[in-house]
Amino acid sequence: MEYLQANSGGNDSIANMQLMYEKGLDFGVVYNNTGWARKDWPERIKQVADWCFARGITFFETKSEGMEALVKRKKGWPMPASAMQFCTSELKEKPTLELLDRIDANCELTIVTGRRREESQNRRDLAQHQDESPKHGGRDVWNPLYLHDEAMRDELIKRAGFEVLPHSSMECYPCVCANKTDLGCMAKNDPRIDEIEKIEIEMGFTRNEKPRTMFRPYRVGGGVGVRMAIEWGHGKRGFKAPFVPEAYIFKGDATESDSDIAYDENTKEGREFARQCDGGYCGS
């Protein structure tokens, strides 16, 4: 095996594995199970694993403690596009490096991702090759789809025998970087909202008396708590959260945590917020 393809099950990942296959390259595929995927996502990943099996391609799946346990251990939610976006490092990067230590101790593999320049502003200068990526244990990274547009990508997906999804990967549902469109796509009665609300309430309040919510309020129209964030997602442009739900009103019990950045106000991290983490581990 010469290459290891990082695969989130999203459109770009499927196109990427098809491209590698058509080129006749010797590669394996790795999926990071974050324990936070949408309910139907394991079925999609099974399709990927079956596709690999049918072609003699090795499929790996990494496991981790999962988002809920991670958030409780860290006593806070990850902060997108900052040093505190610890979900990527804990749920994906570390498990991948552990796998690589086992299967590629001499760092000979090249890591392949399906990232494309066209996807977003913060990928517009993406290089085709990255030498000695520190996030991949010093291995080289190859982004063969870096110049592919959506039509070219979709052709590859169809040739792979997969449907083109109308949304991004659901490996994390929702992603901490979810935007208004992503949150607006979640049904208001989605059970995942209840799960998040339960965790948020259990997480309590920061030293500054702010509730520890998955989405920082200033990013979601001032909405405090996941239910208000979802309302913002469904709301018109300029929607502002109408009230703070009772469970998120401080009643005099604060704790300290290193993860407590930017729950309460706009900050440098907030202004620099990017919609995607871009270490090569998180799909779009």
**168 counts as binding ligand SF4 under rule CB under 6 A:** no
Residue number, 57 or 284, with CB nearest to ligand SF4: 284
Smallest gap from residue 94 Cβ to ligand SF4 (A): 11
Q: Which stretch binds ligand SF4 (CB under 6 A): 50-58, 87-95, 198-206, 246-254?
A: 87-95
3-state secondary structure string across 68-133: HHHHHHHCCCCCCCCCCCHHHHHHHHHHHHHHHHHHCCCCCCEEECCCCHHHCHHHCCCCCEEEEE
CA-atom Rg of the chain in angstroms: 19
Q: Evaluate whether 226 touches 215 at the Cβ level (below 8 Å).
A: yes
Q: Evaluate whether 32 touches 169 at the Cβ level (below 8 Å).
A: no
CA-nearest of 266, 241, 284, 245 to 114 is 284
**87 counts as binding ligand SF4 under rule CB under 6 A:** yes
Q: 86 phi and psi, to 5 degrees? A: -75, -10
Residue number, 33 or 85, with CB nearest to ligand SF4: 85
With CB under 6 A as the contact rule, the residue among 91, 186, 203, 220 that binds ligand SF4 is: 91
**34 counts as binding ligand SF4 under rule CB under 6 A:** yes
**81 counts as binding ligand SF4 under rule CB under 6 A:** no
**214 counts as binding ligand SF4 under rule CB under 6 A:** no
Could you tell me the two tokens for 270? 């907030």
Smallest gap from residue 93 Cβ to ligand SF4 (A): 9
Q: What is the DSSP secondary structure assignment for residue 192, as one 8-state letter?
A: H
Pairwise CA distance, residues 119 & 274, whole Å: 13
Smallest gap from residue 25 Cβ to ligand SF4 (A): 26
**92 counts as binding ligand SF4 under rule CB under 6 A:** yes
Compute CA distances 68 → 34, 82, 202, whole Å.
Answer: 10, 20, 11
**175 counts as binding ligand SF4 under rule CB under 6 A:** yes
Q: Which stretch binds ligand SF4 (CB under 6 A): 23-31, 82-90, 97-105, 108-116?
A: 82-90
- CA 93 from chain centre, in angstroms, equals 11
**176 counts as binding ligand SF4 under rule CB under 6 A:** yes
Smallest gap from residue 274 Cβ to ligand SF4 (A): 10
**52 counts as binding ligand SF4 under rule CB under 6 A:** no
With CB under 6 A as the contact rule, the residue among 177, 214, 220, 228 that binds ligand SF4 is: 177
Compute CA distances 78 → 82, 204, 258, whole Å.
Answer: 9, 15, 11
Please report, as ranges, the residues that interact with ligand SF4 according to CB under 6 A: 34, 78, 85, 87-88, 91-92, 171-172, 175-177, 277, 282
